[in-house]
Amino acid sequence: MATTTTDEPSHHGEPGQRLDKREVDDFGFYLDSSTTSQVAPSSRSVRSSTTQRTGRWRGDPNKRAESQWLAMLDRWDTTTKARNKKKIKRLCRAGIPESLRGTVWTKLTGADLIRKDDVYNRMKETESNPIFEVIERDVHRCFPNHQMFSEKDGQGQKDLFAVLKAYAVYNPEVGYCQGMGMLVGMMLMHMPPEDTFWLLVATTQGAFKDYFIPTLYQLRIDAAVFELILYQKSRKLSNHLAKNDVTPLTYITQWFMTCFTGTLKWDLALRIWDVVCCDGAKAMIRFALAIMFTSKDHLLRHSPSTGDILSYLLHLPPDFPGIPNDEFIDAAIGIELKKAKLGALRLKAEAMAKVDGVEERGEVTLLKKRKGMK
């Protein structure tokens, strides 16, 4: 499909500004091969990037699912999620319609319940903080191949900086951590900056609690839980990784801190975030295990060394997992991990961290023998 030439303003551009005429997919990612891709956009449906749109980039939502969500949102209150637990889980796992994602994410995480007037504006107007320079350096690295963030100092990058800056002031205990930019970028593709700020707040108080603190405490605890479950369900693969000194933190740090947005094709990453907003961190462990099980044959047969293993896990093939998204999600959800079991394993890992003296830094493990396991 050929692009068109226009001098009309972009969604965020100035009047008369010449627009980028590269082709983009349905999610706003550029399709030309000259751009280094952080993600593998799933849709090969092409749009001219000069096409004017209102709102955010949208796919083609399933009309039936959309009507079901609209009906539920129309009567949503503080008890809706609990009263409709099974139905909401089913709808989230089937994929939230693109047109409603921002609204539904807000409701699922309770971001609307913690929102306070004028807090975001006050936080983002803070003029001086050493962390701002770090944030500013990282902003251009977040989705440079997306229409919204590709322009240096464009409105997308300004919004991204403003949200991260406001959060760093709002929660100085966390401040800023690499990986947050990817999450915020994804959110901004679906909602305005202030809504994004409160979704980030809700996320770091919920599914990602203690993930972004300086010690990455909860990430390290969940890595230990993941490692044990992987060993219990696939000892052969677990042994292969251990013999090559490939520990969970060497790859799931990237996966978890960005919720797979820098690892998997975009439509699948969004589907995973839909489920995480509903199920919490348990979903991330399940999806990480599903990636390992799907990759098991390749890792055992074609990744004999540490470098081979990490190269594959940190740069999964663009067409991964090679099966329909629905099948991959069903496989992940099918991995047994009850809330009570996760809680018990987390407590066990926390206790082990204390025993091993790695509460503040270092890897936590629930395996007695990580190397040379038989």
pLDDT, position 30: 94
Give the pLDDT confidence of 79-125 residue by residue, as tens digits. Answer: 888 899 999 999 999 999 999 999 999 999 999 999 999 999 999 99
- Name which of 44-48, 144-148, 332-336, 347-351 the model is least confident about: 44-48
| Interatomic CA distance for residues 182 and 162, integer angstroms | 14
| Interatomic CA distance for residues 333 and 353, integer angstroms | 28
Give the pLDDT confidence of 165-220 residue by residue, as tens digits. Answer: 999 999 999 999 989 999 999 999 999 999 999 999 999 999 999 999 999 999 99
pLDDT, position 197: 98
Q: Mean of the per-residue pLDDT values for the chain?
A: 87
| Contact assessment for residue 218 and residue 209, using Cβ atoms and an 8 Å cutoff | yes
| Portion of the chain with pLDDT greater than 70, in percent | 85
Residue predicted with more confidence, 49 or 368: 368
Answer yes or no: is pLDDT of 137 > 60.
Answer: yes
Answer yes or no: is pLDDT of 369 > 90.
Answer: no
pLDDT, position 277: 97
Question: Burial, 110: exposed, middle or buried (Cβ in 10 Å; 0-12, 13-18, 19+)?
Answer: middle
Answer yes or no: is pLDDT of 346 > 90.
Answer: yes
Q: Which helix (H) or strand (E) holds 47?
A: strand 47-48
| Contact assessment for residue 1 and residue 8, using Cβ atoms and an 8 Å cutoff | no
Answer yes or no: is pLDDT of 344 > 70.
Answer: yes
| Portion of the chain with pLDDT greater than 90, in percent | 77
20 pLDDT band, cuts 50/70/90, is low
Give the pLDDT confidence of 243-263 residue by residue, as tens digits. Answer: 999 999 999 999 999 999 999
pLDDT, position 37: 40
Average pLDDT over every residue of 291-306: 97
230 pLDDT band, cuts 50/70/90, is very high
| Contact assessment for residue 135 and residue 176, using Cβ atoms and an 8 Å cutoff | yes
Answer yes or no: is pLDDT of 364 > 90.
Answer: yes
| Contact assessment for residue 111 and residue 196, using Cβ atoms and an 8 Å cutoff | no
Residues 6+ apart with CB under 8 A from 374: 239
pLDDT, position 128: 86
274 pLDDT band, cuts 50/70/90, is very high
Answer yes or no: is pLDDT of 9 > 60.
Answer: no
Answer yes or no: is pLDDT of 157 > 80.
Answer: yes
